[in-house]
Chains A and B, each alone.
Chain A
Amino acid sequence: MKRTFTFTFFVLVTLGLLAYALYQGLVVAPTEATMGDVQRIFYYHLPHAWVAFLLFFTNFLASIWYLVRRTGRADALALASAEVGVVFCTVVLVTGPLWARPVWGIWWTWDARLTSTLVLWLIYVSYLVLRRFATGAQTQVLAAALAIFGFVDVPIVYLSIRYFRTQHPQPVIAGGEGSGLDPRMWSAVLWNLAGFLSFALLLIWLRYRLALAENAVEEAHADRALGPEAETRAAKPEARGAAPEVGNKPR
């Protein structure tokens, strides 16, 4: 009952934040002088990129946690953060070209920022494909190793516009001299960041719980197949939450 109330409260807060963020981005923020209204894509594009980076960082930490402790919870968190991270990164890759077309005159260019972002998306999609289709006891270990090496691309994406000449604009936030935003634009960025961060947490929580529940069902199936001795073992409290080497793979 308490959990349902907390969940409903969290959903309502997230919806409120997202609605207010939309109002900030479309109404409160001033129209940009050179690009016009299409610049408002920025209020969705940038927060999605930041949240995706944060989710991939969570996946990185959870993968290390899994390799050290081998717990089902770490593995479920790694899977949830990678999956939601891919969703957010997909939004970045879709809104980017929709902004580029009217401003640059092209949908896409192979510059350092765009290419490294596409590579980042492909790394985490391959991580999810590995999780979904690979079978065997070492799948989670391989996925965790891939996640740790894959995370190397995140700082490359972040730094690409600072170290390379790119079609993508130079950073407007923390970009040094000449960079910066109108305070009302800043406000729209921060509200959208809060809204989408809250939304991402909600999705992660749902996906994390789903992974744990699927594990439990899979374990119950395996125990049924093995007979009463295995069922007694599974009923012990210390057996729960730990990921056995075989047959406990969140998909």
Chain B
Amino acid sequence: MKFLYLAYIATWTIHLLYILYLTGRYRRLREERKELEKQ
């Protein structure tokens, strides 16, 4: 059972890390857009 839980947890950790990466990229993009509008 230990390996089963580890596999399921690892799967969702990988997906969550990727979602966090995408969120960071979207945040940076929004900031860049704001700066562009200010100029």
Chain A residues in the interface with B (C-beta under 8 A) = 22, 37-38, 40-41, 44-45, 48, 84, 87, 90-91, 94-95, 98-99, 101-102, 199, 203, 206-207, 210, 213-214, 217, 220-221, 224
Task: Give CA–CA (A87, B13) in the complex, Å.
Answer: 11
In contact, B18 and A87 (Cβ under 8 angstroms): yes
Majority SS at the chain B contact face: helix
Q: Which B-chain residue is minimally distant from A90 (CB atoms)?
A: B14
Q: Could you tell me the dominant secondary structure of chain A's interface residues?
A: helix
A48 and B11 within 8 A (CB): yes
B10 within 8 A of A: yes
Q: How far is the CB of A191 from chain B (nearest CB, A)?
A: 15
Q: How far is the CA of A103 from the CA of B2 in the complex (A)?
A: 13
Residues of B within 8 A of A207 (CB): 22
Chain A residues within an 8 Å CB radius of B25: 210, 214
Q: Is the CB of B11 within 8 A of A94?
A: yes
Whether the pair B39, A98 counts as a contact (CB closer than 8 A) is: no
Q: When chains A and B are docked, how far (Å) is the Cα of A90 from the Cα of B29? A: 26
Set of chain A residues within 8 Å of B36, measured between Cβ atoms = 217, 220-221, 224
A-B residue pairs in contact (CB < 8 Å), sample of 20 = A22-B8, A37-B4, A44-B7, A44-B8, A44-B11, A45-B7, A48-B11, A87-B14, A87-B15, A90-B14, A91-B14, A91-B15, A94-B14, A95-B10, A95-B11, A99-B3, A101-B3, A203-B19, A210-B26, A217-B32
